[in-house]
Structure formats: C-alpha cells, structure tokens
C-alpha cells in the first residue's frame, strides 16, 4: 500500500509541475521582437527556451535563437525579430533536449505591412564608382547589417565581399567602396544573423557611352588670357574623364596639351580653363585617362592691342593715394627710375635683421579686363633717406595684390625667398593668403643680385596664378597693391 501511495504522489507531482509556454502573439511582423512567457519550469539555472523552425527536431543544430530562463519557474524571455516563416517556442529543463512544452507562432510580412527592401542606387556601376545601397523596413536592431555578395553565392560569411551595420535604423543607406568588374547582390540581414531578409542584384562593368559626348564653350572667340568656360554632357562619369586644350589640328599626344582638367567624375557639368595667347585651338573631351577623343570644339583667341592702367610711374610726383600701414618712412621719390627720371622707394624696416615690419598699400580701381600685374623692380646706385642715411641696395621685400574673388577676399604675395628655398606656392592656414615664388629677384645686393643697379620687369597673370592654388576660383576685382618695400617703377595692370 505504501508503494502505491509513493507512486501516486510522484504522479501528482509530475502533473503539478507540467511546464507551459506561449508567445504573447500568434502572428508577428518581421520587424517585431518575440516575447515567450513560461510557467511551471523547474527553476533550475539551466532551464532554457529555444526558437525552432516549425516541425523540426529538437537537435541543437535547429535552434534559431535561445535564452536561459534565468532560474525562474515563471517569467518571460525576449527574442529578436525573425524572418518570415513558421516557428515554435520550446521549453527544456536543465540544459537538456527533452521537450517540456511548445507553442507554435508565425512571422508574416512586416508589422507595418511593408516588406524589407534593399536596393543599390544604380543597376550598373563602373569599377571606380562608390556604391550606395538604400534599405527600408529593417528591424532597427543595432546588429542589422547589409552585405555585398557575389551573385548566386550562399549567405555564408566567407562569401561576403563588403559589409556594414545598418546603424540601428529602419530606413537609411550605406556607401560601399568601388568593386571590381562582376555581378553582385546587396543583401539585408537582421540581428547579426545569416537569415536573408531581402536582396537586389547589380553589376560592375566598363560602361559604353552610346549617346555621344556634347561639348560646348561659352564663346567661340576669346581675348588673350581670358578664362575659357567649357560645358560637357554624356561623359562616362569616371573620375579620370578629362578635358584638354590642344593647338588646332594637333595630334592627341599628351605632350601637345596646353591646358587640361579632370571633369570631377560627373556625367554633366562645367569647368573653366586658363586663358591662352592668340591662336586657334581645339577643346577635346576624353574618357578614363585615355587619349581617345570623344568630342571636339574649336575656338580662337584673337590678338588685341595691349592696354594698361598705370597707377605709379613717379614722373609727376608720387600717387597721392599711397598708404603707409607700418614702418618709419613714408613712400619716397627717387630721381633714378627705370627708363625714366624718377622712381618710387618703399623702405623696409627690419627688426633684428630678421623681420620686416614695413607695409604699404595703394588702392586700385581695376578694369575687369586687366588682370596682368606689371611693375619694374630694381636697385638704385644710391638713395638718400630723410635722416641722411643712404641705401646703396634694397634688402629683401615682397609685393602683391589684395583681390576679391568668387570665393571671397584673397591676398596674393610674390616673394623671391620662395625661389631661393625652392618652396612651391602655398595657402595660409586660414585660406585667405596665397604665397608664390616671384618671376624676378627682389633681393638687391648680396649674392642673389650682385648688380644692385639692375632693374627687372615683374609680370604675372593674376588669374592664372590664383588658379594654381584654387582651380575653381576667379578674380572679381583687384582692390589694392601691397608691398613691404622696394625700388619700384611703372606699376600698372594690363589686359595682356
């Protein structure tokens, strides 16, 4: 009798401890997390809940997601969103695979009725193009991700060409680096899994332009040194598409190129090229750093008489508009100019023989067509300052212009010390001062220019000089001449 009582007691205990499990919904959207509620678990720290494909065996290899019960007899566990399909939540005791309870549920479409979308922004790319992949209706999990695979390959990690997290957002985009020629698929996955949510095919190929390049210039006839605006359409969009200017009829060898620029990897756009001397020229378009011409337009540059506006030649005294910004001496008049009887003296003022603190300005009222700066620079055999000291030579100084450009004000300075140190043109850290080597020697005396009485003709095309450092900038106006010293004569702006 005792044995029967014990058996009956055990049967009752087993009945009382029958586990139950149910999800909080029977149907989920593919964006939704799954909540599994359980009761009557053993309360063992290794009781666990797993998600399985519907109808699959309890083998570990079929587990899609799982969580410990937390040692609780009753409670709930959360699972990340799942791909569309039919599933079962299953309860197990003590890290075993002996099923205690199960509950069927399904995942259909999306909770908001929208399927996951992943789509590259183009169907075809060149091998140099960045690939932008757009996505919608991701789960929003921080470990949702987008991968690039070879077309037709499995979702195995070893096949991933490039990948990135979706950033925990539902709708967005990701940029991928350029790829070699081939066929690919962009694929979307939730929660660091390999369960495919969506995919879209694309190719990387050498594009062939069947529409023909359209190339035009803003004018057919230009003045010497006038900027040449070029409009283009139906280029490949390759970063190494380019446009160059050749002498009219010249062969396509690059050695014949006079001016050229990349198109910036755009199919359609506008660029400008530096002005040219009088003559006839071909503007030509090329794809992908090749010398195979795609389009040509012929232009001419007509010779015109040189016209100049002279701002200082000292013949009738000095220009009254000179401004001494710093330094001890006002602008001085000398009687030994270059090819004239008089010249301008701007005296440097050195501190400890290392810093010249003198600075002088002359406002200019420039004609927009005059963008060539000319001035004679040189030495005087003897010049007597007001304090009766004499300059037998003029030490180092620099000259320049303040200009207004389409990108804002700029100061352009030419300094022969750049020549001495083989220093290339540079832009100041704040981007407003442009520094250049000088076409002539400014330092009078010493070993740089032993003939201290020699005059030299300084001449620069300021638009071309500007575009050495800022290729997309333009001169709007010239506002003033600036200098830190020098023996100067015949200061002028010319058109050519």
Supply the pLDDT for residue 83. Answer: 85
Domain harbouring 256, CATH code: 2.60.40.1930
Instruction: Tell me how far apart the alpha carbons of residues 404 and 398 are, in angstroms, rounded to a whole number.
Output: 20
* More reliable by pLDDT, 456 or 108: 456
* Section 339-346 average pLDDT: 83
Q: What 8-state DSSP symbol labels residue 424?
A: P
* Section 304-330 average pLDDT: 93
In a shared domain, residues 394 and 455:
yes
Supply the pLDDT for residue 356. Answer: 86
Whether residue 1 is contained in a domain is answered as no
Supply the pLDDT for residue 29. Answer: 75
* Section 83-96 average pLDDT: 93
Question: pTM score, two decimals?
Answer: 0.56
In a shared domain, residues 289 and 233:
yes
Whether residue 13 is contained in a domain is answered as no
> Of the ranges 93-97, 120-124, 231-235, which one carries the lowest mean pLDDT score?
120-124
Q: Say yes or no to pLDDT of 110 above 60.
A: no
Whether residue 360 is contained in a domain is answered as yes
* More reliable by pLDDT, 342 or 145: 145
In a shared domain, residues 126 and 85:
no
Query: Which one of 301, 332, 350 terminates a domain?
Result: 301
Domain harbouring 366, CATH code: 2.60.120
Whether residue 24 is contained in a domain is answered as yes
In a shared domain, residues 161 and 277:
no
Whether residue 6 is contained in a domain is answered as no
Find out whether 138 and 196 touch, Cβ atoms under 8 Å: no
Q: Do strands 34-39 and 20-23 pair parallel, antiparallel, or not at all (unpaired)?
A: antiparallel
Query: Which one of 107, 138, 166 terminates a domain?
Result: 107
Find out whether 151 and 132 touch, Cβ atoms under 8 Å: no
In a shared domain, residues 469 and 343:
yes
> Of the ranges 105-109, 138-142, 192-196, 253-257, which one carries the lowest mean pLDDT score?
105-109
In a shared domain, residues 52 and 188:
no
Q: Say yes or no to pLDDT of 368 above 80.
A: no
125 beta partners? 204
- Measured CA to CA in angstroms, residue 178 lies from 125, 127, 161, 188, 193 at distances of 8, 6, 11, 19, 25
| Model pLDDT for residues 450-467, shown as the tens digit of each residue | 777 788 999 999 999 999
| Model pLDDT for residues 261-311, shown as the tens digit of each residue | 999 989 999 999 998 999 999 999 999 899 988 999 999 999 888 899 999
In a shared domain, residues 54 and 148:
no
Query: Which one of 267, 301, 335 terminates a domain?
Result: 301
* Section 353-371 average pLDDT: 85
In a shared domain, residues 455 and 320:
yes
Find out whether 229 and 212 touch, Cβ atoms under 8 Å: no
In a shared domain, residues 404 and 384:
yes
| Model pLDDT for residues 14-31, shown as the tens digit of each residue | 434 689 999 977 778 777
In a shared domain, residues 32 and 152:
no
Q: Say yes or no to pLDDT of 7 above 50.
A: no
Domain harbouring 153, CATH code: 2.60.40.2840
Instruction: Tell me how far apart the alpha carbons of residues 460 and 443 are, in angstroms, rounded to a whole number.
Output: 18
> Of the ranges 84-93, 109-118, 210-219, 463-472, which one carries the lowest mean pLDDT score?
109-118
Instruction: Tell me how far apart the alpha carbons of residues 423 and 128 are, in angstroms, rounded to a whole number.
Output: 34
Count of domains in the chain? Answer: 4
Q: How many CB atoms lie within 10 A of CB 304?
A: 12
Q: Which structure tokens are listed for 156?
A: 């195995």
Whether residue 424 is contained in a domain is answered as yes
Going by C-alpha positions, the residue among 204, 221, 200, 210 that lies closest to residue 281 is 221
Highest averaged pLDDT of the listed ranges 18-27, 388-397, 473-482: 473-482
* pLDDT grade for 469, boundaries at 50, 70 and 90: very high
* pLDDT grade for 133, boundaries at 50, 70 and 90: very high
Place of tokens 């183009």: 122
Whether residue 325 is contained in a domain is answered as yes
Q: What are phi and psi of 462, to 5 degrees?
A: -70, -30
Range of the domain at 350: 308-494
In a shared domain, residues 152 and 169:
yes
| Model pLDDT for residues 408-452, shown as the tens digit of each residue | 999 999 999 899 989 999 999 999 999 999 999 988 777 777 777
In a shared domain, residues 93 and 135:
no
- Measured CA to CA in angstroms, residue 383 lies from 151, 390, 451, 452 at distances of 83, 5, 15, 12
Instruction: Tell me how far apart the alpha carbons of residues 282 and 197 are, in angstroms, rounded to a whole number.
Output: 54
Whether residue 399 is contained in a domain is answered as yes
């Amino acid at each position: 009798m005792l044995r029967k009582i014990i058996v009956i007691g055990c049967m009752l205990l087993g009945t009382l401890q029958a586990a139950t499990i149910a999800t909080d919904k029977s149907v989920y959207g593919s964006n939704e997390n799954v909540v599994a509620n359980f009761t009557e678990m053993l309360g063992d720290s290794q009781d666990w809940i797993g998600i399985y494909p519907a109808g699959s065996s309890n083998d570990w290899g079929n587990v899609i997601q799982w969580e410990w019960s937390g040692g609780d007899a009753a409670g709930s566990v959360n699972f990340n969103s799942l791909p569309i399909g039919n599933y079962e939540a299953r309860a197990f005791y003590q890290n075993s695979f002996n099923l205690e309870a199960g509950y069927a549920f399904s995942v259909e479409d999306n909770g908001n009725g929208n399927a996951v979308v992943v789509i590259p922004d183009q169907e075809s790319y060149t091998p140099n193009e960045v690939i932008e992949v757009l996505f919608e209706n991701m789960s929003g999990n921080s470990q949702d991700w987008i991968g690039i695979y070879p077309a037709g390959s499995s979702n195995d990690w070893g096949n991933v060409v490039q990948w990135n997290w979706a950033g925990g957002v539902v709708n967005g985009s990701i940029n991928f680096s350029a790829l070699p020629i081939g066929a690919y698929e962009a694929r979307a996955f939730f929660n660091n899994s390999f369960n495919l949510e969506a995919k879209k095919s694309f190719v990387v190929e050498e594009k062939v332009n069947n529409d023909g390049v359209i190339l035009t210039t803003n004018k057919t006839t230009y003045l010497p040194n006038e900027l040449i605006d070029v409009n283009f359409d139906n280029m490949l969009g390759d970063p190494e598409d380019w446009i160059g200017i050749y002498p009219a009829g010249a062969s396509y060898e690059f050695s014949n190129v006079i001016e050229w620029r990349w198109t910036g990897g755009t199919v359609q756009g506008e660029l400008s090229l530096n002005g040219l001397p009088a003559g006839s020229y071909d503007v030509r378009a090329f794809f992908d750093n090749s010398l195979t011409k795609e389009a040509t337009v012929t232009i001419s540059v007509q010779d015109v008489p040189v016209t100049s506006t002279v701002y200082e030649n000292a013949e009738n005294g000095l220009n009254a508009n000179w401004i001494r910004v710093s330094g001890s001496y006002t602008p001085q008049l000398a009687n030994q100019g270059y090819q004239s009887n008089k010249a301008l003296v701007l005296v440097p003022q050195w501190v400890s023989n290392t810093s010249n603190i003198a600075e002088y300005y002359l406002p200019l009222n420039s004609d927009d067509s005059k963008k060539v700066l000319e001035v004679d620079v040189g030495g005087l055999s003897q010049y007597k300052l007001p304090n009766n000291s004499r300059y037998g030579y003029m030490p180092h100084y620099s000259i320049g212009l303040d200009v207004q450009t389409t990108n804002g004000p700029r100061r352009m300075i030419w300094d022969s010390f750049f020549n001495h140190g083989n220093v290339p043109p540079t832009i100041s850290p704040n981007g407003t001062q442009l520094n250049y080597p000088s076409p002539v020697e400014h330092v009078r005396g010493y070993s740089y220019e032993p003939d201290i009485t020699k005059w030299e003709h300084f001449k620069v095309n300021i638009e071309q000089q500007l575009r050495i450092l800022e290729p997309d900038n333009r001169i709007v106006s010239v506002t003033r001449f600036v200098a830190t010293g020098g023996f100067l004569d015949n200061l002028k702006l010319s058109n050519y």
